[in-house]
Structure 1
């Protein structure tokens, strides 16, 4: 039988990236004691007030069809949120509402790219980015992030990768898996580069409310000089502990939203109205929940650093934001998947191999910070013992 080329282009780019996490989940389901540090889920359940809002909306009959752009209540809330945060009017006609950041990025890249285009992005990268780019027919072009630059994407490194085929620069700030935050000067340099070469900037900002120790976050949309070529994707999955609700959005130029709307309607023709109503309340609420999570996760990154940095050749990279820390295991292994599987087998600690996030992170582990403090301490004890055995 014949299949579309996209099925070959995406082979190995889906669940194959999560082999270690799936192995951990299988053991947990079988009743085995595993400390699972693989997935960036919030460390608290979805708050009752959001669940109550969704339930109330369903009981009020908000279960019918929506439209491709988004429910008026949510569009109004998003417009108010971004207008207040950016200090200038961001109208409702600059938004499209979709089920989560993943779907939002799929829409954006399909709307901007075509076969043969190139999209520049960081290496390491979030595990699904390569698949999202290839699904559009475009080619991902990685720019290596350097530990000595705190894993921040540099415009000078991007410039070396630009060709006549380049269509867009995909950034992620705060960054998964490194936790790096791009500052205003770095964003301005990337914006100027995109302007000089007539490129799009696509920014995944799902961790924007989860900065550690009060560090400031700057959106790629902050500078109005580049807003005609900047498209942002975000959601309530992380900030409001609601990953299962799949509620996200795109904010970009009016023309982009107008041209992308038929594609959105072809994909989904609207999200659930009761989830839109809940999301409208979420985006207007103070970011108290996110701030609490960020503080706890910063503390767990410190626990990792205190317990493991410098032990048996290990080094811990503490994040500036987000739900992960990085563990440098290069003195012990040059194969992060083998090391992670051995760690799981011998200690019951599950951490993601860095290679799942790109070649630049081979020899590292990504460690989620959403386990309890007690489990984090215990995981550190087991990792330390495992590393010391390896180093002996």
Structure 2
């Protein structure tokens, strides 16, 4: 069974209509990453979030009376004021520059749909989270990909982006930290990129996905958001990854230009009307108390990263990796001098038999020798066992 196949049992799971993918004709490309919503094995190293927050943990931080008194009417299309103020504090911008969205992917889709017209182009750094590419395609944008490489530790290729910029470019899309690699982009590279955009694509915006910015390790603090650096920058983030609340479906954009904010608010009104008021209220509680949630998670992520680093060192003759700067994830690669295509196929086929999940590099625009390994989702007691199981798969695949 390859990385892009599932068992007959898994194919029957609700929402997983894998059998018809060869005839796929949807406006949005099909990507097998959707299987993560349907399959959750005991040793799930495919997930990219930190451990899921429980409703009880979140309610312990809340004023329950204010939650009980919440009226379930429509919210504001721009997002609730208290939530936007909490986001603004984290991003160091004014609350009027914040628009809430149902996760970052919807925000990027609405941004692309609004700023791009037929024939316009977007330049995208890959590998990337699949919706970051596919929502651009779904919006009808011509996407020009700049492939970052394992050999260069997935550092942003500013020269490569420059080569793809043109007067037709309306959007440049990157992530920092990246998904699937956890690699951050420096302020110097962002400033250089802005200069190139101004010269070669003066009508373009720079979108920066900062979803993993606050998922740091140990005592390390998050770098500042790029939100207030330049009016041409639109940032996106959510409570999903670092804070472990993807089920709240609450994300946001920071948008400096008033006319674009108005257009995006109208676009949101015409697609989802508003966010769910309960989700937004709980997200506000979470952001106002985020240090109580982030502090212990930083320690867990730091310890988990040490475990992964030790495992990679022990497996260095078979596996190589790019150490992440932040996030609950990293990229690994089966070494080319140790793995042929047959052994690589066996590797993917053996994972389910060891109750393991990994995220195939093919989902993100890489080869099948690359995989994303998530080290923040499993409880600490399970991570070591999962890595041991992964070593067993390596043994069996190479035998």
TM category, shorter: 0.7 to 0.9
Residue correspondence of structure 1 range 140-159 to structure 2 within 5 A:
140-159=143-162
Is residue 2:271 matched to residue 1:267?
A: yes
1:313 to 318, 324, 333: 318
Match of 2:53 in 1: 45
d(CA) in 1 for partners of 2:65, 2:107: 26
Question: Do residues 124 (structure 1) and 131 (structure 2) align?
Answer: no
Verify the 8 A CA contact 2:165 2:197 in the aligned structure 1: no
1:387 is the counterpart of 2:394: yes
Q: Is the 8 A contact 2:91 2:227 kept in 1?
A: no
Give the whole-Å Cα distance in 1 for the aligned partners of 2:346 and 2:286: 40
3-state secondary structure, aligned to 1:267? coil
Change (3 A) 1:221 1:79: closer
Q: Per residue, is there more helix in 1 or in 2?
A: 1
* Cα drift, residue 65 of structure 1: 1.2
Q: Structure 1 pair 94/334, CA: closer, same or farther in 2 (3 Å)?
A: farther
For 1:81-160, list aligned pairs within 5 A.
81-83=90-92, 90-160=93-163
Distance 1:75 1:382, change over 3 A: closer
Deviations 1:226-257 (A, max 9, x none): 22x11111111223221111111111122211
Match of 1:367 in 2: 373
How far does residue 366 in structure 1 lie from its aligned partner after superposition? 0.9
TM-score, normalised on structure 1?
Answer: 0.85
Q: What stretches of structure 2 of length at least 5 have no aligned partner?
A: 1-23
Pick closer, same or farther for the CA change 1:355–1:307 going to 2, 3 Å. Answer: same
C-alpha distance after superposition, 1:305-325 (max 9, x if no partner): 212334442113221111112
Unaligned stretches of 5+ in structure 1? 1-5, 29-33, 84-89
Within the candidate set 205, 211, 214, 2:216 is matched to 211
Cα 1:238–1:208 shift into 2, 3 Å: same
Report the number of matched residues. 367
Q: Does the Cα contact within 8 Å between 1:312 and 1:388 map onto a contact in 2?
A: no
Secondary structure at 1:128's aligned position in 2?
helix
> Does the aligned pair in 2 maintain the 1:143–1:157 contact within 8 Å?
yes
- The runs of at least 4 aligned residues of structure 1 exceeding 6 Å deviation read none
TM-score (norm 2): 0.83
Indicate the residue corresponding to 1:354 in structure 2. 361
